[in-house]
Amino acid sequence: MRGKTILITGATNGIGLEASVELARRGARMFLVGRDPGRTAAAVEQVKARSGSGEVSSFLCDFSSQASIRALAGEVLAKLDRLDVLINNAGGVNKKRELTVDGIEKTFAVNHLGYFLLTNLLLDLLKRSAPARIVTVASIGHRRGTLDFDDLGFERGGYWIMKAYTRSKLANVLFANELARRLAGTGVTSNSLHPGSVATNIWSGAPTWAKPVIQLLWRPFFLTAEQGGAFIVQLAADPKLEGVTGKYFETGKLVAPAPLAQDEALAKKLWDVSAAMTGLTPAIAAQR
């Protein structure tokens, strides 16, 4: 990883922070993306201290705002002359249905459209840096996900935290696979992963009634953030995965994703809908 330039979102906590430490240790030039200036500065200091690397800096972005994502992409393109690995990792759950400043259900906006928009805006830089990798952090929860294009934001269908989350994570796998097809022959790969059930802040977003259940029944079996982060590092850095694209990994193992996630027509439709929702012209969004 020495000399490689890596941009990772959701780097202020959990598996994103731990992956950043390990990739910095391996000599990558790290750019951490966070939404809160204080937490982001603290993450940079932590990654520097634990990795012993001085090559760690940051950008700010709130992925619930498309203007903020566009500003981030603009800053990245102005500052970086190359990008070897983009890691889409920022995400979370929302107990109640919320709309973003762009009027989109927040879980879908942050967890899926955030990855979609940032990646498309950085695609030319990635292609110029080939061989390059795009790593998308999805979840095994995608297996329970559904997509209803007539009610993407649960306006009519009734909102439930896990329905929104699994939908966004199904979108992650469909996006990563469709991106791989669109990037065929460019030297840029696109893969997605489930990091395991990991003890991170994400569970603090669970409903109050569910927290004791998680704490008592699940938590003893959770991986540490370091163990979960290692699966991001694998997709970003493992030389054995050079050229591997359009694949999905669960806790380090290559497996088939859910049948719905393998549906190419669904992936194409999701791509077109996502491009419309983010105002991407076909000239910018990778074409197929």
Site membership for ligand NAP, residue 14 (CB under 6 A)? yes
Q: Is 110 helix (H, G, I), strand (E, B) or coil?
A: helix
Contact between 70 and ligand NAP (CB under 6 A)? Answer: no
Q: Which of 108, 188, 194 is nearest to 155 (CA)?
A: 108
**Burial classification of residue 191, based on how many CB atoms lie within 10 Å of its CB (0-12 exposed, 13-18 middle, 19 or more buried):** buried
Q: Which of residues 36-65 bind ligand NAP (CB under 6 A)?
A: 36, 39, 61-64
Least CB distance to ligand NAP at residue 43 (A): 8
- The least distance separating ligand NAP from the CB of residue 88, rounded to whole angstroms, comes to 8
d(CA 288, CA 282) in angstroms, rounded, equals 10
Is residue 139 near ligand NAP by the rule CB under 6 A?
yes
Cβ-in-10-Å burial (0-12, 13-18, 19+) of 187 comes to middle
Catalytic residues: 165
Three-state DSSP class for residue 74: helix
Going from the C-alpha of 50 to that of each of 46, 55, 56, 144, 230, the distances in angstroms are 6, 12, 11, 37, 15
- Asked if residue 202 binds ligand NAP (CB under 6 A), the reply is yes
**Per-residue string for binding with ligand NAP, 95-124, x by CB under 6 A?**
---------------x--------------
According to the binding rule CB under 6 A, does residue 26 interact with ligand NAP?
Answer: no
Identify which of residues 35 and 182 has a Cβ nearer to ligand NAP in the complex. 35
Cα separation of 270 and 210, whole Å? 31
Q: Of 217 and 265, which has the nearer Cβ to ligand NAP?
A: 217
Q: Which residues bind ligand NAP (CB under 6 A)?
A: 10-16, 34-36, 39, 61-64, 89-92, 110, 137, 139, 194-195, 197-198, 200-202
